[in-house]
Every structure is written in C-alpha cells, then in structure tokens.
Structure 1
Amino acid sequence: MIDRRRFLGTTAGLGAITLAGCEQSNDSISGGFRGIDVARGHAWRDGALALPGGSVRHARTRVVIAGGGVAGLAAARALRLSGVEDFALLEMEDSPGGNSRGGAVNGLPCPLGAHYLPVPGDDAPEVQDLLEELGLRRRVAGRWRYDERHLCHSPQERLFFRGHWQDGLLPREGVEAATLEQYRRFEQLVETWRRRARFVIPVGSALPSADQLALDARSFDDWLSEQGLDDPHLRWYLDYCCRDDYGAGSSVVSAWAGIHYFASRHGFHAPGSASAASDEAEQDAVLTWAEGNGWLARRLAEPLGERLRTGQVVLRIADTRSGVEVDAFDVKTRQTVRWQAERCVVALPVFVAARVVESPPELLRQAATAMGHAPWLVANIHLRAPLADRSHGAAPSWDNVVYGTAGLGYVDAGHQRLDPTPRATVISWYRPLGPSRHDGGDGRQRLLERPWTGWRDDLLSELQAAHPDLRDVATRIEITRYGHAMAIPTPGLLERLGAGRRRITHGSLAFAHADWSGYSIFEEAFCRGHWAAQV
C-alpha cells in the first residue's frame, strides 16, 4: 500500500514527463489584481467620500461595530452570545474577513491572506470555544481531540536548499558543525526565556514582565549579535520567521517579538537535539483549509444576516453625551448613513481609528504615531497540473519555501484534499514588503505603482529554480495587495501600546484590533474583538 508522501512524489515525476517540451512565456499567463479595492481606501484617505451637501440618512441600533475583519466578526459573535442581537457591523470592502479573506481562481478555492491557525493553547480559551462551536474540536475520553480533516496533512513543510528539497524549514542538510552548534545555543536560549517569562497568545492574557520589556527595547538582530549568534543559516531562518509573522525583518522587529515567535508556541528545536519534538507532533498543531482562514471568516459572518453591512466606509465616530454617532458612506447608494447607538466597537486599524474618531484619546494618538504597518502581497497561481520537482528529496508539501529569496514561498490549496489524484490546483505565493534585508525602500509605494506583471515575473523567477515547469502549467495569476497588512512590533512598541491590557476603552468606545497587541495574527484579533464587545 503506497503512502501519501510516496504517491505525491511519484505523480510529481509523471507530471514532469507529461509536460516536457511545453514551455511557455510569462505573457501567456493571464491575471491581474483582485480582492481589495485600493481606490476605495484611497478615496477615504483623501476625503473624497464626504459629499458636500449630500443627503444623510439616519439609522439607529444598540451597538455599532466599525470594521469587519476578524476582530469585528469576533465582536459580533460575542454580542450574540451575550444576548445582544441589535447591532450593525460596518465593513468597507465588499466582503468581511480582513486579512483572513478567501477567494477562488478558475473555480478553485484559495486564501487571499492568512492561511492557517495554530491549535490554540489554554491562554486563548475564547479561540478554543470558537473551534468547539464550529465542530473542529471535541472532548473524547476526557481529552480534547481536533478533527483530523482540518489539521494540516503531512508532509507539512519543506525547504529548497542547495539544489534540492529537504524536510522542514530550518537549513540543515550539509551545514557546518558550527551552524548546528548555533542552532543548539539558540534552542537553549529560547527554553531559558520560556521558563524565565510568560510568553502568551493573546498578549492581553498577561502583563509583560520587566525582562520582556527589556527585550522589547532592542532589535532582534542586535540581541542575536550580543549572544554571538551570527551563523548566516540561522540568521536567514530567523529573519524568515519575522517576515512571515510580522511582515518585516529581524533587523526591524524587537527582540521580544523574535523570542515570542518561538516561546509562545512550540519553542525552537535544533536538529537532533534531545528536546526536539517530532516533526509530526508539530504539524498536528496547525489547522488549515483550501481557502485558508477565509473558512473561519465565512463561518463567523454567516449568522449575521442583514446586520453585516458591506461597502460601508466609516468616516466619523463621535462619542457624544447622548450616545455614539457613526457616519458611514454607503458605496452602493452614494449616501452617508448616520448611525446612532449606545456604544461602538472600533475594530479598525489604529491609523484609521485615529482619523475617524473625533477628539481621539491620547492612547489612540500615541498608538497611531508609534505603529508602522507592513505592506503585503498574495499571488494565487492556478496550475492546470501538479508541479514537478527539480530533484529528488522531500515530497511536495503544504508549505514550500525557497532558501534566500525575498518571498516566503508558497502553500498548496489542494494539499488538504483527501483524494491525492493529480489534478489542477492553486498555489499561493506570499511576499511581505516591510523593511528587511530584501526591501529597504518604500514597499507600499512599489506595491501600489507596480503593474501586476512585475510581481508575476518576480514570483516566476523566484520559484523557477525549484520548479522549471512552472511557466508550463500556470494558467492564471491573481494578486491581492494589502497596503497596511500587518502591525510591525518594532522596539518599544509593546510598552507604548500597553499591549498586556485585555480591554482598551474610552467613554462609549471600545477598541478592538490586532494592532493593539503589536502584531497581526488571528488569535490576537479574535480575542481583542471578543473582549471589546463585553460590557
């Protein structure tokens, strides 16, 4: 009986034979931008949506939720669970979900942003409850068990390193003994910090210690240099991890963020170390779907019905003596709607909230001034047949990374299929554009001004080393751009935000967004929204 790994490896080789000699040019691949209405966001920024002398329609509800990303959707769920049904959720885009939207290319589902959720720990009971509600986990014989159909299938990760694929993303095959020694030293440092301080997700579950604030005061690169950790393979991997979770490199994010990446979850395991958890155990800790976290966003949005109002651009939020006023521009009717409510959950990025909240409180102004956001790009590539590997090595995986490149590699939306029969699929290529060794200029301007064909050529060139047949099997590339995708946890941000606080309020306003945690992941956004909706 052939296992999944061998079957995939075999069929990849068959694909190479079938497609040999069918090379095509980049221009034969169709595509374009999709997913986010950049012009709508810029019209808000430039004040072009406030129509002078335009009519204003009035509406009333008990609670307004401004923003339909994960935080806003979580706030809506929390209101429903507490018995509050009279609310309105206002979302600027045509679909909710924020960075967790999903989509499809040529009829095949794929992520437009975040593509996985680690199994949450006990510091995030709110997320655990959601997964239980959605049927993703249940108690069996006194222990929690997750639905294996939604856990990431094996093999999970591989790295194209020195001309072939290896298991895992940490460079290890053929590296020097000095490199392995630095891996072991970093493992020991992470374990020391795990015991020394409580690194939690969400960060609002515990106030940061003095030791953590000291880490927060310096960059990760500087801290690594102080520890004598200068091996290029280790530094590449740690920089990759920072760009993956924070959108910016290890020279930009704080040492707290760099340690938190490992100490808050599964630690760091050097190859061959006695404390290393098995690869399989780590893989079982990840939930994923063909459309990524769009699967979760869709289920959070489904119960809302008409309370979810898309195409609503929030222009003004005012906390008045008689309650809250929220002005929103309705894209479809070209009319401003003035909502009156008892309170408002402001589930907007801090730089947006600081512009729309009248007389913003000092904590909001400080947060908006202190925080930077990383631009981000997701390219979904439709393949008419599976990719062939250039060489023998690790079998096709869910997450596939090419060493030393500016991109973060790609995930295969078809990896979760129970039937591994070779067929068309979509792979999603991720490119952060925050400051790093790869991008030192204005990544946001480049993201907005560069034509989609430039990004197409970049990804094809980057993946060509591992997949020479990519141009032959790619039929269409659709690119989603996020100008302010992820909060960057720069040195000092943790303290300036007061990120250890659960609820951040001012009068009748409660602020909810992953920004308030200092970095953008599903668990942080969800818990912030859940907490903000509570009275």
Structure 2
Amino acid sequence: MRRRTFLGAGAGALALGGCEAREGEIEGGFTGIDVVRGHALRDGGLRGAAPSKTRITRVVIAGGGVAGLAAARALRLSGIEDFELLELEDTAGGNSRGGAVGGIACPLGAHYLPVPGDEAHEVQDLLEELGLRQRVAGRWQYDERHLCHSPQERIFIEGEWQDGLLPMQFAGASALAQYRLFGQRVEALRTGARFVIPTLRAPLAPALLALDAVPFAAWLDREGFDEPHLRWYLDYCCRDDYGAGAAHVSAWAGIHYFASRHGFHAPGDDSAERDAVLTWPEGNGWLTRRIAQPLGDRIRGGHVVTRIAEMRSGVEVDAYDAATQSMVRWRAERCIVALPVFVAARIVENPPEVLRNAAAHVRYAPWLVANLHLRAPLTDRPGAAPSWDNVVYGSRGLGYVDARHQSLDPTPGPTVLSWYRPLGPSSYDTSDGRRLLLDRPWTAWRDELVAELSAPHADLRAKATRIDITRYGHAMAMPMPGLLSQVGSHRQAKGKVVAGRLSFAHADWSGYSIFEEAFTRGHVAGSAA
C-alpha cells in the first residue's frame, strides 16, 4: 500500500516534449495542477457572481476524482444517464492521473493498486469489467501483463542495493529479533480485530478505537519496539501511505498498513504471501481514463464548483466555467458531493453537522511528485538488480519508480523516474509543508531530487534532461490519533453519508486516502442516488 494514495486535488494529463537539453542541463518546471483556480475558490474570488445561464439535469456530481468517477459509473450501472460531473481541473481523475515526459508515459500521482481483497468487491467488479481479472477453472486470475514485474522493490543502504524495503543484511541480531516479534504482534492484532479495506465493512470495535487513540510511535515505544532499522522502516511506511510519520499517525493506521492485507513479512517467514500489485507506466491514470471514457461530455472539466444549496424541490449547484469565464447554475434532484471535506464544508450552504465535524478533524498532507526524464539508463551500484520501486535508506523522499519497468521491450533506452516526496509532519524540518511547497522554486526541488538520487546513481545529472513537478497542497487525509473515531464508518449507515438531497463521497470519510476507499465510497453514493 504505497504511493497509491493522493485523492485530494488533481493533475492534468500532459504530454511534454522538448527533451533535447544539453548534457548536464535539466529543464523543467511546475505542471499538472491549476493552483490559481483552486486558490480563487479559497480566497472567495469566484463567490457571488450571478449565473449567466441555468441548466437542468437529474444528478450533479461535484468533483471528478476517483470517488466522483466511481459515482458516475454507479449511476450508469443503475440505469441513470442524466447526470453531469463537474471537475475543477481540465481532466477528471483527481490524483490518479497520468502524463508523459519526452513521449514516455508516467504517473502524476498514485501509481499502483494492490490486488483487492474480498471485502472490496466493488473494486473487484471494476477490474473484471476492465479485463484485468477473470475466473479460470473456478479461480480468479489476474492478467500478468498488468501485475508488477519482478524485481519489485529494493533499498539502497550502506553503499549498495538490497532486495526488498526492510533493512536486513546490515541489521544486527537485535533488529532481526524485533522484526519477528513485530510480525507476531501484527498477526495477533490482525486475528483479534477486523482490519478491513474498505473500512466501512468493519464496525469500529473497542480494540480498534484504542489503537486509534494513540500515536503509532507512542504505541511502538510502549511495546518495546525501539530498534533503529525497524523504526525507520515503519516510519517510512507511514510517510509512504499517509504522508506523515509514525509520531503523527495513529497506532490504528500503523497496524492497518500491514494487518489489512498480508501482515508483516519478517525475515525467514517462508509462509508470508507477497502483496501482488497492479501497475502501469502512467500509474493509476490507466484506471481513471478507462472509467472516464464512457462518460463522454458529461464530464465538465474546468468547472469550479462555488456553491451547493439544497432547495425545496431539489438542489442548486453553481460552477465557474473557466473556458467561457462565466458562472453556470445547475438544477438537479440530487447532488453527489465527491469533494474533500474541507472544500465541501466551504461551498455547501448550511453544511450539515456530519460534514462540519469531518472538516473540523481531517488534516491533509501536502505532496510533491517529480517526473525526471533520462536520455539513457543509469549506471547502478552493486547489489540487487534495478527494480520498479527504488528507495534510498534514511532519505526524506520515498524513492522512485521506473516508468519502463513494466515494458515488455528489453532494449535499454530513455526512461522516466517518478520521485515521491511527502511534506506532512515529520517529513520535513518545518511545520508548514504546504507553504514550503508553494514558495520554493522548482529548481530547489530539482536539486533535492538530484542530491538524493545521485548517491546510488552518480551519473544521474549527466543523463537527466527534464523534470516536471506536480504539487498537491492537500493530497491526502492523514489518519491522526482520534480521526477514525470522529469520521469512521460506525457513524454512517453502511458507508452512506447522506444529508437530505446531498450524498457525500470521498476517501476523507474513511479517515485516510487510497484508491479502494475512494472508489467504494463513490460507488455507494452513486448507487443510492
């Protein structure tokens, strides 16, 4: 469950050429997100304008991320074709979009999807619809062309590459003993309580609420897990999936990372099942483009929703059309609000208590995704072979994925490395990662990336030609202590968050942000409309 999150803001799919820079010169800049549009809504610059036209539809979907697209698909499955989806960015997909640099497809956000468990049957149905899985001889089989190719992961530590992301060969006997003990503790918690994806399928039992109440780092201290290699790995996992370190997310979140799937893989555990993941060169943009394709012109890109109001006979939704620079009012029977809760609370008139409560408690991690075009393969250090996911031990970043790893063409050639950088608490030497994200020039992020990745690849600067950087100010909800008890599934009926003629659908309502949570919430809202 790594870097498949980002379900807050969006990034347009851009095909960028111009990678003919001289050796050692790296061109680039910020791309993918229209920061001005989002901030115009925040600052009130779009409020109060009189609509220049009024349109009628049955259902309006506000927000075109994964949840909004899932809601639109669910409407069509239930026979409702009269709807409109309004999206702030020019293309739908939220933070699960893809782009290209130098003609090479790459992710602009979330880049993989673990093979879903049985509780995520809506996601399973989607994968079957897209031809990614089928039943053969009574068993489900996944199309191996879309499963992550081996080798899957490696870590750069002590001057060489090691297979897997759990530090082992340079860890001592005490570390290995704590690895095994932590694995046993996770298994005990996993069998004693339901850690389920999506969370709405599991009621919040007292054991889960107790874990939700304390920081993960404090729980690890209490349990005696103090080995530095183990603590680095667990902190990495939290930053990877939640955007914040172990000191800032709940113990529920830290345990859920492992217990919701196949547990913690301690060294020597031959029975451990390795997570299978689906991935594509353009990341989860492969999925969102295919969900969006049947919707056609019902997706209204460049529409900034500024007001949602429940009326006696329906709802009114006002949206600024960036193309025509005019305000449009939509009248409908219902509205599916597939927006982050902090945005929804600003634009829904007289927001219901359930929305006000969620907005008061959800906090977001800012993120940065940098796509670096290389003219040729990099020279590697000793150790494990080049992998799909490559992490530098002890770094602030989360490493990089190689866009060509899934290619069936074995010929070495140009590629794109996608580098991920969370800026939530404990991920940087400042409490305001969002301000840092907006204020630093793109060249500063370029230099940080080059410095980090030059340790394992000394020739990176010489072979890099262009870097495109996408910024996400509110990328993902952070499951901080107490959040699950505030917005968790026990406060909702079967995952439906409904207030009058408004249905709410977003990963925020699960307390953390991954594809499965967003898609399920959207599907449930669309099915109930």
How would you bin the TM-score normalised by the shorter chain?
Answer: over 0.9
Q: 1:525 aligns with which of 513, 518, 521?
A: 518
**Matched residue of 1:98: which SS?**
coil
Residue 272 of structure 1, CA deviation: 1.1
* 2:458 maps to 1:468: yes
Identity of matched residues, %: 70
| SS at structure 2 position matched to 1:338 | strand
Question: Which aligned pairs between 1:393-412 and structure 2 lie closer than 5 A?
Answer: 393-412=383-402
Please list every run of 5 or more consecutive structure 2 residues that lacks an aligned counterpart in the other structure.
1-20
Please state how far the C-alpha of 1:199 moved relative to its aligned partner: 0.4
Query: Aligned pair 1:299/2:308, yes or no?
Result: no
- Report the alpha carbon displacement of residue 275 of structure 1 after superposing the two structures with TM: 3.8
**Residue of 227, 231, 244 corresponding to 2:227:** 231
**Alignment TM-score, normalising by the size of structure 1:** 0.93
The corresponding residue for 1:30 is 27
Between the aligned partners of 1:31 and 1:274, the Cα distance in structure 2 is: 45
Counterpart among 45, 49, 55 of residue 48 in structure 1? 45
Structure 1 Cα separation of the partners of residues 22 and 59 of structure 2: 57
* In structure 2, C-alpha distance between the alignment counterparts of 1:350 and 1:55, rounded to whole Å: 25
For 2:377 and 2:269, the matched residues in 1 are separated by 35
**Cα distance in 1, alignment partners of residues 376 and 390 from structure 2:** 17
Query: Matches of 1:417 and 1:498 in 2, distance apart?
Result: 40
Correspondence for 1:326: 317
Deviations 1:474-512 (A, max 9, x none): 100000000000000000000100334411110010100
Cα drift, residue 439 of structure 1? 3.9
Aligned partner of residue 100 in structure 1, secondary structure: coil
| 2:110 is equivalent to residue 118 of structure 1 | no
AA aligned opposite 1:470: L
- Aligned to 1:65, the other structure's residue is in SS state strand
Q: Which one of the candidate residues 53, 56, 61 is aligned to 1:57?
A: 53
**Among 73, 80, 91, the residue aligned to 1:77:** 73
The amino acid of 2:289's aligned partner reads R
Please point out which of 269, 273, 297 is paired with 1:273: 269
Q: Determine whether 1:459 maps to 2:464.
A: no
What amino acid is aligned across from residue 340 of structure 2 in structure 1? Answer: P
Q: Does 1:506 align with 2:499?
A: yes
Q: What corresponds to 1:175 in structure 2?
A: 171
Q: Please give the TM-score of this superposition, normalised by the length of structure 2.
A: 0.94
Where 1:99 maps in the other structure, the secondary structure is coil
Match of 1:351 in 2: 342
1:438 aligns with 2:423: no
CA distance 1:529–1:437, change in 2 (3 Å): closer
Once the two structures are superposed, the pairs formed by residues 241-260 of structure 1 within 5 Å of their partners are: 241-260=237-256
- Contact 2:197/2:517 (<8 A) preserved: yes
- Aligned equivalents of 1:195, 1:100: Cα separation in 2: 32
- Residue by residue, what CA displacement relative to the aligned partner does 1:437-478 show, whole Å, maximum 9, x if unpaired? 534420000000110000000000011110101001110000
1:6 aligns with: none
Contact 1:23 1:472 in 2 (8 A): no
SS in 2 for 1:483: strand
Aligned to 1:364: 355
Q: Which amino acid aligns with 1:372?
A: R
Number of aligned residues: 505
Amino acid at match of 2:398: L
Which residue number in structure 2 is paired with residue 159 of structure 1? Answer: 155
Unaligned 5+ residue runs, structure 1?
1-21
Q: Distance in 1 between matches of 2:347 and 2:253?
A: 29
Q: Which residue of 1 aligns with 2:9?
A: none
Root-mean-square deviation (CA), in Å? 1.3
Pair 1:381-2:372 in alignment:
yes
Which one of the candidate residues 188, 191, 197 is aligned to 1:192?
188
User: Shift of residue 106 of structure 1?
Assistant: 1.1
Structure 2 CA distance, aligned partners of 1:511 and 1:318? 14
Alignment deviations for residues 329-373 of structure 1 (CA, whole Å, 9 cap, x no partner) = 101111111100010100000000000000001111111011100
Instruction: Read off the aligned partner of 2:385 and give its amino acid letter.
Output: A
Q: Distance between the aligned counterparts of 2:470 and 2:509, measured in 1?
A: 24
Deviations, residues 259-297 of structure 1 (Å, cap 9, x unaligned): 0000001110111135433xxx43xx1000000000001
CA shift for structure 1 position 50: 3.1
